[in-house]
Amino acid sequence: MQITLRFLKRFSLTTLLLLFVYSCADTSGTAYKAESSGNLNSLNVVITNELWQDSIGEQIRSIFAADALGLPQQEPKYALNQIPPQAFNGFARRNRTFLKIEQSEQTGHQILLDSFAKPQTGIIVAGPDSESIIAELENNALKFLNVFEKTELKEKRRRMRKSPKPVDVLEKSLGISMLFPSAYRYAKQEEDFFWMRKDIKNGTMELLAYEVPLSSIEKNDDVIANIIKMRDSIGEKYIPGPSEDTHMITEEAYAPYLFETEIDGKFAYEIKGTWEVKGFFMAGPFVTYAIKDAENDRYVILEGFVFKPSSSKRLQMFEIEAILKSAEFVD
């Protein structure tokens, strides 16, 4: 009887362990994936040393390490880290984004999600020779950039959600909601104008939110001139410089970049350029989104700019873009 009880106890324990292991297993048949890692806007490129130093490598660098638009100095879109295929294992596979070049009889590409870690986005580009691989990269450059940008924006917002700033005042006054970290503080609040600021080493990061009538931007066909005039009027009214009779304006030497996009399903203009303080030696990059809200006869203006002299500003501007593009209209 004692032997039977011992056997039943051992059998029950073994059964429970087996059931526990089975319940924890991935029923889809895929193995457990570790959490991805890597700095924001950092891209692993899996390619042989020979191809990296040849024309394929040059094409990759021209796409993914091209200068980010709107910055006062040259800074690449992505920091590239080349990895030989034989070294692409273990921890090297856990980077959040990777681009892999392979030899294949057929030319094409494949987008992979969560292959070796989670979350993770990978792109494999293959072809029988250098010419076909270069053509595949060139023909799909914008698509590949958009895929990686969405991944990085999603990751940045995941981090910001850990400690978000309350946006009740924005919702009540402007009817919009945005996700931004609690490290920002409200530097100025008026009925229809809000200025949020975050202190960083050797500088600041700034966010603006306000509204203007549709006619401010659509009064004629010169959209970029109308937006510059609008920005400069806001700068004169709300953004003073460090001394009397100085204020923020759009840099006059170079015309800003103008794009069309969507935010929360609404048409928007995206403007990237350089701001400066009129009458004072201060400048930096800015990005402005003019979101058309035809139902309310207005454009909602969301803007961010950075002051960080003699330093890289790419990551700070990326944070600002992640914040502004998170905007949603609320009732």
Whether pTM exceeds 0.75: yes
What CATH number should be reported for the domain whose range is 162-329?
Answer: 3.40.1000.10
How confident is the model over 227-245, as pLDDT tens digits? 999 999 999 999 988 888 8
Residue 230's alpha-carbon distances to 175, 191, 234, 257, 302, in angstroms, are 21, 18, 6, 16, 13
Nearest to 301 by CA among 215, 183, 213: 213
Query: Where in the sequence of the chain do the CATH 3.30.379 domains occur?
Result: 34-159
Burial letters for 206-226: b for 16+ Cβ neighbours within 10 Å, e otherwise?
bbbbbbbeeebbeeeeebbeb
pLDDT tens track, the chain, 331 positions: 444 444 344 444 433 333 333 333 343 345 678 999 999 999 999 999 999 999 999 999 999 999 999 998 899 999 999 999 999 999 999 999 999 999 999 999 999 999 999 999 999 999 999 999 999 999 999 999 999 999 999 999 999 999 999 999 999 999 999 999 999 999 999 888 999 999 999 999 999 999 999 999 998 889 999 999 999 999 999 998 888 888 999 987 778 999 999 999 999 999 999 999 987 888 899 999 999 999 999 999 999 999 999 899 999 999 999 999 999 999 7
Query: Where in the sequence of the chain do the CATH 3.40.1000.10 domains occur?
Result: 162-329
Sequence-separated (6 or more) residues with CB below 8 Å from residue 60: 45, 47, 52, 80, 99, 101, 137
State the greatest distance between any 2 C-alpha atoms of the chain, in Å, as a whole number. 98
Would strands 121-127 and 266-278 be described as parallel, antiparallel, or unpaired?
A: unpaired
The whole-angstrom distance between residue 43's C-alpha and the CA centroid of its chain comes to 13
- pLDDT at 209 (0 to 100): 98
- pLDDT at 27 (0 to 100): 38
Write down the architecture of domain 34-159 according to CATH: 2-Layer Sandwich (3.30)
Q: Is 267 left (phi over 0), alpha (psi -120 to 50) or beta?
A: beta
Judge whether 77 and 41 are in contact, CB under 8 Å: yes
